[in-house]
């Protein structure tokens, strides 16, 4: 009987090599498997594992709050599990008794690993809720702006993601596919919780074979499969809203906007039109207006508007566009442009809010809610928009705006993290270093000695998905997976669940937290609950024991073609949207009523502070795009040979346009320093004509590795990015608005130490 495991990168089969050791192989039938996940059993990653519970030396000797500036700079003392659990339980108790649960930040953002029971965020939230609650977070780094703007103007992101028009429908009906930010294969390797068969590359191939024409708009060309033979329209980073406005203006000038659809399915076009024509502000958003902002020739904009309206056109947008200052605007204007074209709800027309950022979009599989560990109820009302963590830590009690409401930051004494890596995901890491000194105690559960683990006070070693039993399921990926334990836990690692259960016992909470179940008890329970819910929907799956033995449930019989918003188009009264008006809101009364200085009631062009058009931009400043890495997921498996093999002597690559490289006398392989007022890091030059002039690209994910003088040696772009909200509406992550300079070539002999364990002492 074949055994399987699920990971964010896909489902893998578990085989035995000649020595009888387990090894992973691609799932039979997967048309485009990801190599990333094959490295989960790579022995090379074991060198970075956390073996035993460890406590920062000063914290252990002097107690909570001791020498916070030494976090990441002093040795850890390895202690027994008994000692570590006693310390953590006592500290949770101390903080809640002395300062209340509002002093515990348990937002704990992060992707962790696949598996529905051992989902680290669910576990830590459930535990902290059982213990009286915690300060939480909303939205994600992925979609900070979109999570706030999209439900107000069209639909929740989750509802959009689950009903994208399927690839087969696009192959049959789409004539023109226009994408802002490509459809990167690298990103479509993953789906949170477990990609099934990888459908994006074959989907694009089928469209190309059917004769669909592709246009790729943005600063990079190599984010769309070459099979698409796309026309690349170079557009300055962060300027897409201006381009979309000019396209919209041209539609109106030609009298080609769909006034019928705008009247029946949208509200507020009349409030937006005076802005578009310039009647409102004296600036007509013409192609000539957009040319100097975007770098796209006006003539090409005019022609593109006509091509779009003359063909069955699918528009697509990468999520990176909203991960920028005023990131709400490109998404709002994108939906407005699609509405003006009037093809929303037609087969192969309309828009996709992200073909490419995950394998999911374009899935034919039915949405069925998976097994879910209840997180309980959180009595604490205070939260942050997820990317405002450093602001919160640095400004306790300060006010902030979010989604139209005024709130205050909590005064955090303790951080409890499981399943995420803030020193990977956050912007302006030098600022985070300052903020990280605020709490008295930082506890992290980690399998690996990441930069965040090295900067904690107490590190508890946890198992990986290879080392425990779980249920693998990602909505609409087409499979349910029995993730049977493949190998024993590394050293003294324990499951997040077992750690929290042991803490709950010490706090007298083991019954409400554990409900008397062990790992397999929970799996049976969660599976049984789900099986009952699915039966009500007419979907029959086997009994748990059969599923566990067979290893995989194939849900493809539930698959069917999808046309996004088909029902809404057919009858908007019978199938209204979830917006206040039930229609697409080109003008939002709600947002207008907030009276925000940086987000009005309709989409607008707003220039970011940091972009190529910034007034006074110093000569030679380049726009840095810090996109998702192709050889790993975020920081995960950065220590694998697959990820390290794509770097140059352990330095992350920085992709530079040939003209920019020539101007600086740089060639392939040169080591350079990227710097701005916030930080400095090293990178190895890759001269790449697929990156437009004035732009450099360095993927995220190389583990943060600063020298004492502040130079980051490994190539982590988050020492350079801005830690500001997208706007006071959504307060999302704005990493993609970032200017840098390059210095080099330089001789950099400093060894990358990111994968070394910290100095460990024995108690
Ligand atoms: N500059 C810039 N920055 C960005 C982005 C960008 O585009 N540009 N993208 C942002 C986006 S979209 C995202 S989603 C974030 C991602 O940021 P994160 O989700 O924080 O990144 P990961 O590297 O996936 O971190 C997951 C951590 O969980 C650990 N882990 C894995 N399994 C388990 C487990 O079972 N238990 C426990 N306790 N731990 C486990 C892993 O070892 C890893 O350290 O980064 C954001 N940061
Ligand atoms: N291999 C791998 N896959 C991943 C991830 C990973 O870490 N590794 N992370 C996953 C996660 S959590 C998320 S949220 C998604 C993120 O999905 P996205 O946010 O869509 O991904 P990015 O790679 O940040 O950006 C995609 C491309 O957008 C283009 N781009 C950047 N700025 C602009 C701009 O201003 N205008 C235009 N037109 N284009 C621009 C760049 O070419 C960039 O390569 O990816 C997911 N997939
Ligand atoms: Mo993300």
By the 8 A CB rule, do 30 and 10 touch? yes
Asked whether the beta carbons of 499 and 517 are under 8 A apart, the reply is no
User: Is 68 part of a structural domain of the chain?
Assistant: no
Ligand 2 site-directed mutation target among 121, 181, 425, most atoms within 8 Å of CB: 181
pLDDT at site 223:
98
DSSP conformational letter for 758: P
| Residue whose CA lies nearest to ligand 1 atom number 47 | 425
Residue ranges making up the domain that contains 734 = 622-743
Domain count of the chain?
A: 1
**Strands in 631-679 per DSSP E:** 653-656, 671-675
User: What integer pLDDT is reported at residue 1 of this predicted model?
Assistant: 82
Q: Tell me how far CA of residue 77 lies from CA of 51, 66, 74, 353, in angstroms.
A: 12, 15, 10, 48
pLDDT for res 647:
98
The number of the ligand nearest the C-alpha atom of 322 reads 2
Please give the number of the atom of ligand 1 that sits closest to the Cα of 448.
Answer: 42
Domain membership of residue 345 (yes or no) is: no
> How much is the pLDDT for 153?
98
262 belongs to a structural domain = no
Give residue 733's pLDDT. Answer: 98
List C-alpha distances in Å: 517 to 132, 462, 495, 541: 21, 19, 14, 23
Identify whether 749 is part of a domain. Answer: no
Residue-level pLDDT at 258: 98
Residue 558: the pLDDT is 87
Name residues whose C-beta falls within 8 Å of residue 141's C-beta, 6 or more positions apart in sequence: 109, 323, 386, 387, 425, 732, 733
Alpha helices in 496-543 (DSSP H): 496-506, 510-514, 519-536
Q: Is residue 535 part of a domain?
A: no
Residue 362 lies inside a defined structural domain of this protein: no
Closest atom of ligand 2 to CA, residue 220: 42
Distance CA 511, CA 329 (A): 48
Q: Could you tell me which residues come within 8 angstroms of residue 217 by beta carbon, excluding any fewer than 6 positions away? A: 178, 179, 180, 181, 233, 235, 240, 243, 296
Ligand closest to the CA atom of residue 717: 1
CA 336 to chain centroid, in Å, comes to 24
| The pLDDT value given to residue 714 | 98
Name the E strands within 27-128: 54-56, 76-78, 104-105
Which of 357, 632, 697, 726 most suits a substitution to test ligand 2, by most atoms within 8 Å of the C-beta? 357
Residues carrying an active site annotation: 109, 111
What lies within 8 Å, CB to CB, of 505 at 6+ separation is none
Q: Which helix (H) or strand (E) holds 31?
A: none
Give the residues of the chain that fall short of pLDDT 50.
none
CA 449 – ligand 1 centroid, Å: 14
Looking at residue 763, its pLDDT comes to 85
Domain containing 654 — which CATH number?
2.40.40.20
- The residue whose C-alpha atom lies closest to atom 30 belonging to ligand 2 is 181
Domain assignment of residue 644, yes or no? yes
Residue 715 belongs to some domain of the structure: yes
Distance 618 CA to ligand 2 centre (A): 27
């Amino acid at each position: 009987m074949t055994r399987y495991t699920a990971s964010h990168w896909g489902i893998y089969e578990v085989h035995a090599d000649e020595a009888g050791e387990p090894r992973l192989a691609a799932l039979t039938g997967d048309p485009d498997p990801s190599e990333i996940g094959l490295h989960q059993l790579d022995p090379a990653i074991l060198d970075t594992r956390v073996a035993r519970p460890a406590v920062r030396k000063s914290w252990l000797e002097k107690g909570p709050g001791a020498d916070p500036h030494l976090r990441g700079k002093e040795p850890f003392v390895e202690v027994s599990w008994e000692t570590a659990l006693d310390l953590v339980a006592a500290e949770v108790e101390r903080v809640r008794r002395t300062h209340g649960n509002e002093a515990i930040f348990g937002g704990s953002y992060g992707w962790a690993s696949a598996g529905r029971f051992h989902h680290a965020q669910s576990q830590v939230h459930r535990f902290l809720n059982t213990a009286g609650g915690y300060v939480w977070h909303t939205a994600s780094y992925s979609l900070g702006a979109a999570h706030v703007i999209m439900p107000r103007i069209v639909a929740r992101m989750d509802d959009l993601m689950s009903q994208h028009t399927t690839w087969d429908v696009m192959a049959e009906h789409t004539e023109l596919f226009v994408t802002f930010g490509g459809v990167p294969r690298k990103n479509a390797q993953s789906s949170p919780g477990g990609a099934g068969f990888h459908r994006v590359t074959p989907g694009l191939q089928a469209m190309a074979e059917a004769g669909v024409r592709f246009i790729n708009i943005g600063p990079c060309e190599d984010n769309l499969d070459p099979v698409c033979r796309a026309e690349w329209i170079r557009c300055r980073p962060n300027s897409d809203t201006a381009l979309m406005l000019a396209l919209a203006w041209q539609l109106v000038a030609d009298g080609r906007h769909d006034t019928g659809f705008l009247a029946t399915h949208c509200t507020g076009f009349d409030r937006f039109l005076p802005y578009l024509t310039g009647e409102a502000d004296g600036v007509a958003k013409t192609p000539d207006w957009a040319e100097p902002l975007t770098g796209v020739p006006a003539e090409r904009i005019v022609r593109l508007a006509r091509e779009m309206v003359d063909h069955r056109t699918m528009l697509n947008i990468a999520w990176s566009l909203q991960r920028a200052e005023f990131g709400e605007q490109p998404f709002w204007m994108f939906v407005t442009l699609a509405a003006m074209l009037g093809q929303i709800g037609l087969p192969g027309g309309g828009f996709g809010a992200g073909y490419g950022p995950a394998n999911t979009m374009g899935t034919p599989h039915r949405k069925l809610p998976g097994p879910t560990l209840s997180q309980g109820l959180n009595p604490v009302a205070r939260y942050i928009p997820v990317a405002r963590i450093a602001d919160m830590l640095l400004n306790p009690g300060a006010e902030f705006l979010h989604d139209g409401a005024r709130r205050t930051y909590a005064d955090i004494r303790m951080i409890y993290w499981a399943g995420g890596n803030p020193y990977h995901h956050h912007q302006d890491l030098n600022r985070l270093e300052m903020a990280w000194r605020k709490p008295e105690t930082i506890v992290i559960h980690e399998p690996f000695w990441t930069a965040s683990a090295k900067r904690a006070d107490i590190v508890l070693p946890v198992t990986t998905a290879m080392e425990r039993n779980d249920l693998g399921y990602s909505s609409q990926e087409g499979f349910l997976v029995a993730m049977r334990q493949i190998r024993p836990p590394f050293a003294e690692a324990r499951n997040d669940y077992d750690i929290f259960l042991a803490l709950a016992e010490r706090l007298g909470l083991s019954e409400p937290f554990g409900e008397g179940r062990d790992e397999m008890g929970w799996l049976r329970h969660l599976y049984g609950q789900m099986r009952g819910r699915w039966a009500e929907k007419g979907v029959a799956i086997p009994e748990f024991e059969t599923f566990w033995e067979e290893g995989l449930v194939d849900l493809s019989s539930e698959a069917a073609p999808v046309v996004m918003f088909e029902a809404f188009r057919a009858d908007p009264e019978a199938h209204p949207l979830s917006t206040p008006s039930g229609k697409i809101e080109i003008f939002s009364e709600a947002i207008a009523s907030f009276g925000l200085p940086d987000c009005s009631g309709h989409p607008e062009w707003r220039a970011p502070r940091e972009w190529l058009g910034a007034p006074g931009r110093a000569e030679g400043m380049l726009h840095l795009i810090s996109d998702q890495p192709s050889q790993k997921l975020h920081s995960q498996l950065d220590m694998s040979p697959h990820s390290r093999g794509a770097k140059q002597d352990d330095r992350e690559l920085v992709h530079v346009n040939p003209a920019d490289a020539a101007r600086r006398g740089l060639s392939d392989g040169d080591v350079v320093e990227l710097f701005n007022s916030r930080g400095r890091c090293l990178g190895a030059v890759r001269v790449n004509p697929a990156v437009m002039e004035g732009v450099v690209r360095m993927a995220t994910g190389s583990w943060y590795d600063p020298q004492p003088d502040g130079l980051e040696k490994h190539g982590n772009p988050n020492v350079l990015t801005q830690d500001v909200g997208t706007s006071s509406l959504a307060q999302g992550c704005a990493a993609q608005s970032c200017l840098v300079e390059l210095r080099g070539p330089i001789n950099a002999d400093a060894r990358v130490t990111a994968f070394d364990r910290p100095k460990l002492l024995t108690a």
